Each structure stands twice: as structure tokens, then as C-alpha cells.
């Protein structure tokens, strides 16, 4: 029988019982949550569901304040009624107000999205003045973090629901404020909801583009989502394009290209077009490049490629990936540039970047073509070698010879910046290759440990190798795991290196009871300057446990204690800066969700085994 029928009949069966008494238990079991919402729909047809909502909102386990699973379930149950009862709405709003002020709604954007969309639907079907008033009061709260959270909730509520001019007017008033948290929330709202793109919000967006880094990031993401906005504040967007922070400049470049700066700009504004094309190629996967609506064809590119002007020729090379539907042309022209003795260093870099962005051209590569790129790892110029390495990383997944070529390059006598990129690429494409793992482990053992010389170059190489460990899932070197743990505890190392040691340790140490206990102890007493790293490590370790049944079996007995430690960790450290609080909340919620899923699944599996036996 299909699951939906089973759950519907279970809901019908519960209706014939004193079901309220069962909700405290059933609502915590993921397999029963659909039954609970179906039950709410059946009950809501003929009676008030406020008592059911009340049960779901009270008696929470401590982790619920972070995950908000039951609050979201209570919202879903209320929405099963044709018109949610005012009493149920009042209880839900009280809980949401509390969660914004003291819980994860203050700092967790993902949960605000889930809650906001449900609140919008509830207001749409009920027209409740309680909801309108709660949102309007919230977005004008004097505390900027709380007002920003309510602005975020309001915008998610308006994504699928028309909440009327009163809400738009309240939002426009909030746009007069200057706090960075509020500017970030306004930018997010502008990116989501057309009705909120008012003159007041446009002025706030321009201020955000000239504000602190965090506000700039939110603003340029909004413009990337709605590229037409760039024309309203062109100078500010160009200013972000000039930022040293790569993530900012790359997003600005993508937004400018999406706004309509295409191949025709090769004559109108060639310098800007070349800068944008170069920025988006820097570290972008082919899938990202495919989303950019750069209008281009052979008739545009061929004259540029044959130009005697270097800038025009570079623009032509960088436009090649956007020649749609002619994969052979893309492949042939790029390989011709890579083979030509007359190609300049800039031409070669541009051609390798373009090949990295063209998945269709990569599929047409022959063995001899890949050999040309491999040989460029010995080029005289550093930038050609670096881009060749990245290109091989983009095309080399599963290709044994390419993995070996990258491994030889990483082992060669190369400078530290090249070593870092080589190690990153070979670890990514050869993450399950024994020789790659042996190289990374062996290099780490030579660099880390008592008495090792920590020159600047060695520190940078060590960081690259530690980051490479995060591509693996191995427990083959107890000596390395012990050294990484010691490195994390070594106060002579920099905080950044200690953090990298801890993160690498999560991927190379054995998954066993002792490891879980050690990590739980860290959560209970983390080093002062490494709180965020400990939180991240807990989330990734728990996620790693889910990969194999034996990992779950080893870890399961200790996971309840880790769950308690995570909740206490969150309560102690949630009052940091806005960025830190958001990262902490996301990581703790991620870890708690994985723990709960593992424990529920493991118990269900154990119950089935006991029944079968």
C-alpha cells in the first residue's frame, strides 16, 4: 500500500482515540509527522484544532528551540484548516516572537524562509489582523537584529502571498534605517519580492552597496538575482566589481553580464566586458557559466579571434564558451589556440579558462588534446601552469592518467601557491585514489609534529594539505589522526592552522566511541578563539557518520550526549556577532538534524531486526 494511504488511515484511526495524549510522542517521530498533519486536516473540518497546536508548541525538547521542527509542524497543522482559528494563530505568533528574540529565528535564514512562507499563506487565507500587526511591529523593532529578522520573515511571507499596501508602507519606513543588519535584510527582500522594490528600498540598496562588506555582499546578491536593478545604481555596482574580495567581484561581474552586457559590448565597452568575463571564469564551474545569458555566436566571435588587437582577441577567446549549439567549433578553436606557437601567455590563460567553462568542449577532448594541457604544467609562466592545473581538475574526474599527472605536478619542486592549487585539484579528482591519499598523508607527517620547522612556506603548504583531507573519508592512518589532534591542541600554532588541523581530523580519524566522546568534550569546553571551528567540526563529523552503517552503529550510543552538548554549546555562544551567530546556528542545527535522523533510523532498523528475529 502506498505510504500516503497508510498515513491517511493512521490519521483516521487516531481520530477515534484520545489522540491529544499521543501527540507529544508521535510528533517527534519523522515518519509520523505527515500523519499528524493529515489528522489536523480531518479534525479541522469539524472542530477547533487549537488544542492540537498547543500540544505541539509546548513541552519541547531543548533541541527544538534550534531546529524548530515542531513549530513548523504546528504551522502546517494550522494551515490544514480552511481558516486557522484565532486562538491557534495567537499561540503561533507568541512562539515566533519568542523564537526571534531568544531562539534560532534570529540568526537562521533557512528557518526564517520556511516559517515566513507559512506565515504568508496563513495571512492570505485568514486575513488575521494579529499577523499583520505582529509583522509591522517586528520590522520597526528598535533592536536592529530583531527588526532585520522580521523584515526577512515579511519578505518570505510576501513571496507567494499579496499582503497588501500596509505591509509595503511599513517596509518602506524600515528602509530609512542605516544599521548593516537591516540593510542586509532589505537587500534580501528586494531580491525576492517585486512589490518591495520601492524608491525607499532602492536608496537603501545603494547605501548597502557602499556600506560594510556584509551589506555589500547582500546587496550584490540581490542585484545578481534581479540584474535589471544594476542599471539604477551602475556606479555602485562597478565599485563592487573593483573590490579585492573575490566573491564580491565575481558576483558583481555575473550581475553585470546578466544585466545585458553581452558580446555587443566588445566594441562599446571592451575593457568592462573583458574584466567581467575574466572574473566569472576565475573559479566558476561550468554549470555556473551556463546560467549567464551572454548572447554570442560564431559571427561575433570569429572577427574578434582574428583581430590584431590583443584586447579584442582576448574577448573573443573568453566569449567562446557562450557560442551555443556548435560544440565542435568551441573545441576546435580552443585547441587551435592552445597548440599555436604564436599564442601569447594571455591567450593561453584565456583559452584554458574557456575550456574549463565548456563542458561540451570537454566531452570532445581526445587523448592527444588532454596531453597538450598536461604538457602546459611545465610551461615557463606560472599563470599558465596554474590555469592548466585547474583545467585538468575540471576535466579529469575518473581519468587515472590525469590524476597521476596532477600528482606528479604536486610532488614537483614548485612554489607554494602552485602547490596549494595542485593539492586541491588532485585531492578533488582523486579523492578515492590510494596514491593520492598516501601522498597527502605522507606530506602531512613530514610537515607536522614536534621539532618540525614552521617557515611561512611550510605553514602555507600545511594548510593546503589539511584542506585536502576534507575531500577524503579515510581512517587509514592512526598516526596522522593523533598528530592532527595534537596540532589542534598546540597553542604554539596559529589559530588558523589549529582550525585546519581540527577540520582535517574529522575526515581522517576513525569513527568510534572514543572520537565521539572527545568531540563532545570539546563542545562542552571549546578553546576560546576556536568556538566556530568546534561547531563546524561537530556538524561535519555527524554528517560523515551517516555515510556508513558501521559508523552509525559505533557512534549511536554516544550521540544523545553529543546532542545535549550541542544544545548547551548553542546557548552559551549564540550571542556573538551576526555572522558568527548565523554560522553557529546553521552548524548546530545541521548537526542536531543529522543526529536525530541517525538515531531515529537506527532505532527503527534495530526494531525491525528484533521483530524479524
| pLDDT score recorded for residue 267 | 63
Query: Is residue 416 in a domain?
Result: yes
Query: Is residue 296 in a domain?
Result: yes
| pLDDT score recorded for residue 524 | 94
Looking at the fold, whether 279 and 303 belong to one and the same domain comes out as yes
Query: Is residue 600 in a domain?
Result: yes
Looking at the fold, whether 349 and 337 belong to one and the same domain comes out as yes
| Final residue of a structural domain among 361, 395, 429 | 395
Looking at the fold, whether 435 and 521 belong to one and the same domain comes out as no
Cβ neighbour number for residue 341 with a 10 Å cutoff: 4
| pLDDT score recorded for residue 180 | 94
| Final residue of a structural domain among 351, 366, 395 | 395
pTM of the model as a whole: 0.88
| pLDDT score recorded for residue 152 | 96
What is the Cα–Cα distance from 460 to 270, expressed in whole angstroms? Answer: 37
The dihedral region occupied by 68, where left means phi > 0, alpha psi between -120 and 50, and beta the remainder, is left
Domain ranges, residue 608: 512-613
HEC letters along 123-171: HHHHCCHHHHHHHHHHHCCCCHHHHHHHHHHHHHHCCCCCCCHHHHHHH
342 by Cβ neighbours in 10 Å (0-12 / 13-18 / 19+) ranks as exposed
| pLDDT score recorded for residue 87 | 94
| pLDDT score recorded for residue 2 | 37
Name the domain count of the chain.
3
Average pLDDT, 10 consecutive residues per value, the chain (613 residues):
65 71 73 82 83 83 86 92 92 94 90 95 91 95 96 93 88 95 96 94 95 94 93 91 90 89 68 91 76 83 92 94 89 95 94 92 91 93 94 82 92 89 92 89 81 76 91 77 88 88 89 90 90 89 85 87 93 77 88 86 67 54
* 45 contacts 14 by C-beta, under 8 angstroms: no
Residue 458, SS3? helix
Looking at the fold, whether 569 and 488 belong to one and the same domain comes out as no
Looking at the fold, whether 528 and 605 belong to one and the same domain comes out as yes
Q: What angle do CA 439, 445, 447 make, to 5 degrees?
A: 100
DSSP-assigned letters across all residues of 409-424: HHHSS--HHHHHHHHH
What is the Cα–Cα distance from 225 to 254, expressed in whole angstroms? Answer: 10
Cβ neighbour number for residue 594 with a 10 Å cutoff: 20
Residue 607: partners with Cβ closer than 8 Å, 6 or more residues away: none
| pLDDT score recorded for residue 509 | 87
Amino acid at each position: 500500500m502506498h505510504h500516503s494511504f497508510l498515513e491517511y488511515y493512521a490519521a483516521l484511526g487516531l481520530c477515534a482515540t484520545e489522540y491529544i495524549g499521543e501527540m507529544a510522542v508521535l510528533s517527534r517521530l519523522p515518519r509520523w509527522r505527515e500523519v499528524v498533519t493529515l489528522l489536523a486536516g480531518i479534525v479541522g473540518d469539524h472542530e477547533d484544532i487549537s488544542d492540537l497546536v498547543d500540544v505541539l508548541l509546548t513541552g519541547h525538547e531543548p533541541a527544538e528551540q534550534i531546529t524548530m521542527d515542531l513549530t513548523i509542524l504546528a504551522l502546517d497543522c494550522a494551515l490544514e484548516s480552511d481558516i486557522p482559528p484565532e486562538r491557534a494563530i495567537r499561540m503561533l505568533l507568541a512562539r515566533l516572537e519568542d523564537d526571534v528574540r531568544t531562539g534560532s529565528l534570529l540568526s537562521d535564514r533557512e528557518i526564517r524562509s520556511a516559517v515566513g512562507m507559512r506565515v504568508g499563506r496563513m495571512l492570505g487565507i485568514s486575513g488575521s489582523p494579529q499577523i499583520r500587526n505582529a509583522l509591522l511591529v517586528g520590522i520597526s523593532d528598535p533592536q536592529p537584529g530583531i527588526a532585520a529578522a522580521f523584515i526577512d520573515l515579511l519578505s518570505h511571507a510576501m513571496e507567494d502571498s499579496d499582503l497588501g499596501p500596509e505591509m509595503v508602507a511599513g517596509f518602506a519606513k524600515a528602509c530609512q534605517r542605516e544599521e548593516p543588519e537591516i540593510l542586509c535584510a532589505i537587500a534580501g527582500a528586494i531580491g525576492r519580492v517585486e512589490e518591495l522594490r520601492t524608491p525607499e528600498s532602492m536608496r537603501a540598496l545603494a547605501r548597502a552597496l557602499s556600506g560594510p562588506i556584509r551589506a555589500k555582499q547582500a546587496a550584490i546578491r540581490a542585484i545578481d538575482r534581479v540584474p535589471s536593478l544594476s542599471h539604477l545604481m551602475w556606479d555602485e555596482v562597478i565599485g563592487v566589481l573593483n573590490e579585492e574580495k573575490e566573491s564580491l567581484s565575481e558576483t558583481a561581474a555575473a550581475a553585470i553580464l546578466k544585466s545585458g552586457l553581452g558580446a555587443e559590448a566588445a566594441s562599446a565597452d571592451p575593457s568592462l566586458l573583458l574584466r567581467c568575463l575574466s572574473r566569472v571564469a576565475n573559479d566558476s564551474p561550468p554549470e555556473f557559466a551556463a546560467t549567464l545569458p551572454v548572447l554570442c555566436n560564431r559571427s561575433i566571435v570569429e572577427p574578434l579571434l582574428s583581430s590584431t588587437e590583443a584586447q579584442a582577441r582576448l574577448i573573443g577567446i573568453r566569449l567562446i564558451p557562450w557560442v551555443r549549439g556548435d560544440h565542435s567549433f568551441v573545441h576546435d578553436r580552443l585547441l587551435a589556440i592552445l597548440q599555436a606557437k604564436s599564442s601569447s601567455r594571455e591567450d593561453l590563460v584565456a583559452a584554458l579558462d574557456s575550456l574549463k567553462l565548456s563542458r561540451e568542449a570537454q566531452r570532445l577532448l581526445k587523448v592527444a588534446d588532454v596531453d597538450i594541457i598536461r604538457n602546459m604544467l611545465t610551461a615557463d609562466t606560472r599563470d599558465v601552469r596554474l590555469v592548466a592545473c585547474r583545467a585538468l581538475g575540471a576535466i579529469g574526474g575518473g581519468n587515472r592518467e590525469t590524476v597521476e599527472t596532477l600528482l606528479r605536478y604536486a610532488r614537483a619542486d614548485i612554489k607554494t601557491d602552485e602547490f596549494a592549487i595542485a593539492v586541491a585539484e588532485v585531492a578533488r579528482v582523486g579523492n578515492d585514489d590510494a596514491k593520492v591519499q598516501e601522498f597527502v598523508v605522507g606530506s602531512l607527517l613530514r610537515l607536522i609534529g614536534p621539532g618540525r620547522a614552521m617557515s611561512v612556506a611550510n605553514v602555507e603548504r600545511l594548510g593546503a594539505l589539511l584542506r585536502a583531507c576534507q575531500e577524503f573519508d579515510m581512517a587509514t592512518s592512526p598516526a596522522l589522526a593523533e598528530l592532527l589532534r595534537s596540532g589542534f591542541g598546540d597553542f604554539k600554532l596559529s589559530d588558523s592552522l589549529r582550525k585546519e588541523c581540527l577540520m582535517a581530523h574529522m575526515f581522517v580519524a576513525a569513527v568510534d566511541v572514543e572520537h565521539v566522546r572527545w568531540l563532545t568534550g570539546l563542545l562542552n569546553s571549546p578553546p576560546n578563539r576556536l568556538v566556530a571551528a568546534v561547531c563546524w567540526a561537530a556538524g561535519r563529523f555527524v554528517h560523515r557518520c551517516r555515510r556508513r552503517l558501521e559508523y552509525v552503529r559505533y557512534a549511536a550510543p554516544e550521540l544523545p550526549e553529543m546532542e545535549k552538548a550541542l544544545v548547551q554549546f548553542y546557548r552559551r555562544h549564540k550571542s556573538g556577532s551576526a555572522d558568527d551567530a548565523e554560522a553557529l546556528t546553521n552548524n548546530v542545527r545541521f548537526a542536531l538534524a543529522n543526529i536525530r535522523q541517525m538515531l531515529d533510523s537506527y532505532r527503527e532498523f534495530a526494531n525491525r531486526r528484533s521483530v524479524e528475529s
